[in-house]
Amino acid sequence: MLNFILRSVGLGLATAALLLLAVPSLRTNLLPENITKPISDLTSLQLSFNEAVRKAAPAVVNIYSRKYTEEDRSKLLTQGLGSGVIVSEKGYIITNYHVVAQADQIIVALQDGRVAAAQLVGKDRRTDIAILRVEGSNLPVIPLNQDYKAKVGDVVLAIGNPYNLGQTTTFGIISATGRSSISADGRQAFIQTDAAINEGNSGGALVNTQGELVGINTASFQQATDLETYGISFAIPYSLADLIMEKIIADGRVIRGYIGVDGQDITSVTARLLGNEHLGGIVVLGVDPNGPAAEAGFQVQDIILKIDGQKINGRHSVMEIVTELRPGTKVDVLVLRKGEELNLPVTIAEDTRE
């Protein structure tokens, strides 16, 4: 029976081969049209990100900060240069804190030729974010996608006004995410990219190939460390910039929760010894003697597992959860102390640190 089946299959394949040789038109019908084209035709294909730039670039503005001279308080001199991103039809612009920190007047220039004085809504030194607002109709707004998650290898474009040359777009990929090493206190995680970011690019847009805002350009590694480097630049994730903007619009400043502990992630080996259910916890290394945690009874070597019933996932997770809590809120913090789980009630205070 098996030999009969094999002979039948072989006969069928041989017949098909003869038909393909005898009737050439059958061969082209079996293959997709683009595969049968000569290789020389492929040279007409062109890779371009023009559509992404066309969508995003009009919403990226030039920012000039002006300051009164000490000799004559009636004279304003331009003393700072940067970029910004229009993210709302109401005229809200996200830029860097350091672009406008010392400004007495802020001028915004749109790509369509309009120029306007901007109102400083608020600023946050810790995240290097400032929010401006301009009046105007039919303002261009950059495409936004709350569901986009930055991933290593994603192609990105940096749009800004380097050295006041005029709007410029550079190209690269996301090299890393969650970079906190250049942050002064390790409290902020940046997107790392090899797209060039130079003086004047600060506050500009980092966008994906759809023209959607990925981050706010903030610094090159050379600017942050004084080392001679190439291809290492950083941007503030859009999700963080948007959160800071909403806080500033609501309160005029960023109000953060504070409990007064410092800690480090527990290692995978320690987690296995304690039980894998404790993976993600942090070991308390220090307690502010004047903070809410000390009043609640926290001790060095406590392992924080949950905050207000929410399982934590490392040091940054703790900071994110706590800073989002309003001062005065009472929460239970689950800690592991000498093998025993304890619930410590703590009242959130306001973080007044810069």
> All domains of the chain, ordered by start, with CATH?
2-44 (no CATH), 53-133 (2.40.10.10), 155-245 (2.40.10.10), 257-350 (2.30.42.10)
* More confident site: 328 or 5: 328
Instruction: Render pLDDT for 272-324 as a digit per residue (tens, 0 to 9).
Output: 666 656 667 888 989 999 999 999 999 998 888 888 888 888 877 888 888 88
CA dihedral 178, 183, 188, 193 (to 10 degrees): -40
pLDDT at 35: 45
pLDDT over 80 (residue 12):
no
pLDDT over 60 (residue 33):
no
Q: For the residues 104-129, what does the mean pLDDT come to?
A: 93
Question: Does residue 284 contact residue 302 with C-beta atoms inside 8 Å?
Answer: yes
Which pair of structure tokens corresponds to residue 83? 């970029």
| CA 59 – CA 140 distance, rounded (Å) | 5
How far does CA 155 lie from the centroid of its chain?
14
Q: For the residues 202-214, what does the mean pLDDT come to?
A: 95
Q: What is the identity of the amino acid at 130? A: A
How big is the chain, counted in residues?
354
pTM score over 0.85 = no
pLDDT over 90 (residue 233):
no
pLDDT at 31: 47
pLDDT at 315: 79
Active site positions, annotated: 98, 128, 202
pLDDT at 213: 96
Instruction: Render pLDDT for 142-173 as a digit per residue (tens, 0 to 9).
Output: 999 999 999 999 999 999 998 888 899 999 99
Instruction: Render pLDDT for 236-270 as a digit per residue (tens, 0 to 9).
Output: 999 999 999 999 999 999 999 999 998 887 766 56
pLDDT at 197: 86
* More confident site: 111 or 23: 111
Which pair of structure tokens corresponds to residue 130? 């400032």
Instruction: Render pLDDT for 34-82 as a digit per residue (tens, 0 to 9).
Output: 444 454 554 555 688 999 999 999 999 999 988 887 776 666 777 778 9
Question: Does residue 215 contact residue 206 with C-beta atoms inside 8 Å?
Answer: yes
Helices of type H across 88-237: 97-100, 221-225
Residue 324 gets which letter from DSSP? H
Mean pLDDT of the chain: 82
